[in-house]
């Protein structure tokens, strides 16, 4: 019996694991508000003469009944009160406005027909309008009062950090509104700063806007106990963005940013979308704007083959090529798992999933003559982007045979097939390590350049050289991230070492552009911007990780590693092209017969599997190859 009573009470009063009020309770409260609002309206309008209002206990029922029907149809009681928002206001507004419209229209129609006696069951027009306004106001206030009480009293308060918002425009204002409404956010906005002098001094929802010269000072930061700065200007240019971030970091602030407008949810920024600053934000440059006409002409309606398609550069080339409407894109790589992941990505990318019939994925090795011939025979590519290569310097120092086999003879095989099958353009992805090489990997890429440059026939061979790309597989940035995640130390081979950096999309855009303007035998070098000191890069990544205790240590240069990278050899110069970011390298020309003879000798040495003999022949082909590896440096004597 007792259990039966408990179950009955739970059914009537509600027992919920989420501690939410039963929906019918909310409906009852709303109906009480409707009735109370009616009496408030009567008292407001007819306090001195209640009888003149036409108020009648027997006829009061019609207004609540119509409101009840409207609430049931609009389901105004469905929302959780503690999370009331704009959609709840919209429902209440629609229900109340619809109700008063029906009441007013019904009274008007009945008053002008033979049923005018029924019109007396309705309150006066002014009474219904006032009642509508009061009812809607109380219902909305009730919901937001409960939400506020829940967040401020019932819910466990979160320790918030004082935050400076950089940017007092639309994005900054919307961010402030989000932070003030989201009690789960860890940010408490205490000040704005903005470059626009017109905004300095004004207040936005009681938060004052300061100039950067005033706000970004140690005195101001300490006085206001500011711990975080959120950069809220999505459209800011890269150079100014870097300046602001570095200024914030210099003040020991945790610097964060918000995404671009396109990533906002329903036109609003959410507090969980506030992102950490990434090292790419400090190394990136102003995006290069390229004309699409040249690339469209070269790719549209053609069969394109990309080798090394699952790699960082190869995969981005594939993504960009697909936007130029090729007849077929053949993506080729030997790495099964990365290729599987890339295939899944391409097949499920919204822009490409309807173009699956234009994509082919091939697993094979570029040094396999039988399989590669089959690929050329089956697909008949018209444009080839050759990105497949071994690129890790220390590995290739220890595996000279494989470096030469893939980077030189793999390239030779693809290039020869390109000539045989009438490929229009062959674009090879080279590296700045091919310039005055000090390691096996760089030398193999230079030999590949020499071989493709010396080819004759209708196929136009083009080489593109560039340095490190941010975020590429095996590059220094992902390595530092792993070391930081493991608690350090961060290892830098030499405090003096510098490198060029560019983003993967930027590099691949330039590859496509260079391929389109090349006329055969060309080597293009890219404007890589300013050199970056790797030690400084490590320090910035440590600071961005908020783990200043992590140690940075020097480990010494690895075999074959350079202190400084170059884009041109000692005897090379450049000629400007129509694109200021792409330069045409003037390099030494080789006769086809001479190159073929040297390559044949290299193949002979390769068959010995003797690294010393292999590297010795490489130095014959590339005289400027001066090895930093003590094992091979003796060959320079």
**Which tokens in the block code for residue 61?**
């029922």
Print the SS3 string covering 330-372: EEEECCHHHHHHHHHHHHHCCCCHHHHHHEEEEECCCCCHHHH
How many C-alpha atoms does 364 have within 13 Å on its Cβ side? 21
DSSP state, residue 277? -
Q: Element (H or E) spanning 329, and its range?
A: strand 328-333
Dihedral, CA atoms, 422, 424, 429, 431, nearest 10 degrees?
100
Q: Do the Cβ atoms of 181 and 152 come closer than 8 Å?
A: no
CB within 8 A of 39, min separation 6: which ones? none
Q: DSSP characters for 579-590?
A: STTEEEEE----
Q: Which two tokens stand for residue 585?
A: 């390298």
d(CA 599, CA 601): 5
Burial status of residue 443 (CB atoms within 10 A of its CB: 0-12, 13-18, 19 or more): buried
User: In the chain, what is the straight-line distance between the N-terminal and C-terminal CA atoms, in Å?
Assistant: 103
d(CA 168, CA 574): 46
Among 367, 391, 425, 433, the one annotated catalytic: 433
270 is catalytic: no
Between CA 59 and CA 56 the distance in angstroms is 5
Reported residue count of the chain is 637
**3-class secondary structure, 304:** strand
Asked if omega into 489 is within 30° of 0 (cis), the reply is yes
3-state secondary structure of 289: coil
Residue 58 phi, psi dihedral angles, 5° rounding? -75, -15
Distance, CA of 375 to chain centre: 35
Strand blocks (E) in 509-551:
522-526, 532-533
Q: Which sequence positions are flagged as catalytic?
A: 433
């Amino acid at each position: 019996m007792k259990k039966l009573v408990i179950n009955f009470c739970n059914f009537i009063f509600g027992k919920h694991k989420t501690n939410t009020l039963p929906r019918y309770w909310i409906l009852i409260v709303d109906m009480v508000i409707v009735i109370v609002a009616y009496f408030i309206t009567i008292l407001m309008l007819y306090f001195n003469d209640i009888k003149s209002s036409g108020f009648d206990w027997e006829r009061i029922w019609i207004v609540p009944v119509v409101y009840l029907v409207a609430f049931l149809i609009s389901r105004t009681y469905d929302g959780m009160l503690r999370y009331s928002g704009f959609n709840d206001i919209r429902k209440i507004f629609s229900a109340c406005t619809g109700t008063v419209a029906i009441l007013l229209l019904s009274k008007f129609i009945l008053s002008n027909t033979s049923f005018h006696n029924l019109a007396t069951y309705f309150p006066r027009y002014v009474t219904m309008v006032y009642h509508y306004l009061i009812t809607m106001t109380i219902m909305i206030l009730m919901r937001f009062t409960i939400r506020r009480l829940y967040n401020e009293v019932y819910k466990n308060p979160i320790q918030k950090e004082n935050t400076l918002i950089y940017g007092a425009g639309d994005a900054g204002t919307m961010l402030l509104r989000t932070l003030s409404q989201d009690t789960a956010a860890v940010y408490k906005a205490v000040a704005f700063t903005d470059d626009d002098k017109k905004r300095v001094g004004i207040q936005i929802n009681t938060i004052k806007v300061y100039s950067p010269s005033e706000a970004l000072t140690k005195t101001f930061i300490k006085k206001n106990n500011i711990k975080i700065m959120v950069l809220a200007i999505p459209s800011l240019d890269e150079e100014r963005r870097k300046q602001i971030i570095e200024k914030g970091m210099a003040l020991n602030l945790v610097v964060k940013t918000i995404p671009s407008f396109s990533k906002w949810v329903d036109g609003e920024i959410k507090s969980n979308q506030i992102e950490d600053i990434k090292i790419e934000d400090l190394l990136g440059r102003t995006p290069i704007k390229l004309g699409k006409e040249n690339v469209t002409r070269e790719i549209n309606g053609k069969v394109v083959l990309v080798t090394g398609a699952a790699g960082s550069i190869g995969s981005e080339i594939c993504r960009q090529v697909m936007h130029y409407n090729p007849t077929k894109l053949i993506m080729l790589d030997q790495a099964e798992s990365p290729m599987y992941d890339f295939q899944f990505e391409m097949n499920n990318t919204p822009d490409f999933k309807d173009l699956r019939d234009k994509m082919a994925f091939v697993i094979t090795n570029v040094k396999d003559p039988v399989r590669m011939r089959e690929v050329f025979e089956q697909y008949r590519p018209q444009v080839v982007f050759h990105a497949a290569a071994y690129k890790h310097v220390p590995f290739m120092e220890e595996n000279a045979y494989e470096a030469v086999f893939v980077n030189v003879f793999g390239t030779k095989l693809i290039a020869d097939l390109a000539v045989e099958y009438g490929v229009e353009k062959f674009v090879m992805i080279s590296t700045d390590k091919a310039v005055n090489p000090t390691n096996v990997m760089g030398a193999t890429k230079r030999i590949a350049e020499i071989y493709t440059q010396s080819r004759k026939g209708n196929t136009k061979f083009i080489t593109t050289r560039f340095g490190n790309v941010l975020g590429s597989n095996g590059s220094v940035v992902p390595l530092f991230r792993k070391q930081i995640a493991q608690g350090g130390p961060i290892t830098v081979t030499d405090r003096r070492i510098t490198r060029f950096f560019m983003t993967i999309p930027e590099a691949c855009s330039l590859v496509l552009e260079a391929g389109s303007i090349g006329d055969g035998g060309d080597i293009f070098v890219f404007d890589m911007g300013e050199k970056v000191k790797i030690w400084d890069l490590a320090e910035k990544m440590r600071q961005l990780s908020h783990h200043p205790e992590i140690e940075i240590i020097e480990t010494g240069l690895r075999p074959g590693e350079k202190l400084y990278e170059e884009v041109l050899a000692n005897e090379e110069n450049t000629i400007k092209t129509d694109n200021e970011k792409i330069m045409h390298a003037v390099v030494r020309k080789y006769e086809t017969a001479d190159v073929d003879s040297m390559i044949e000798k290299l193949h002979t040495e390769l068959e010995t599997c003797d690294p010393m003999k292999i590297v010795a022949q490489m130095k014959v082909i590339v005289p400027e190859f001066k090895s930093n590896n003590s094992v091979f440096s003796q060959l320079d004597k």
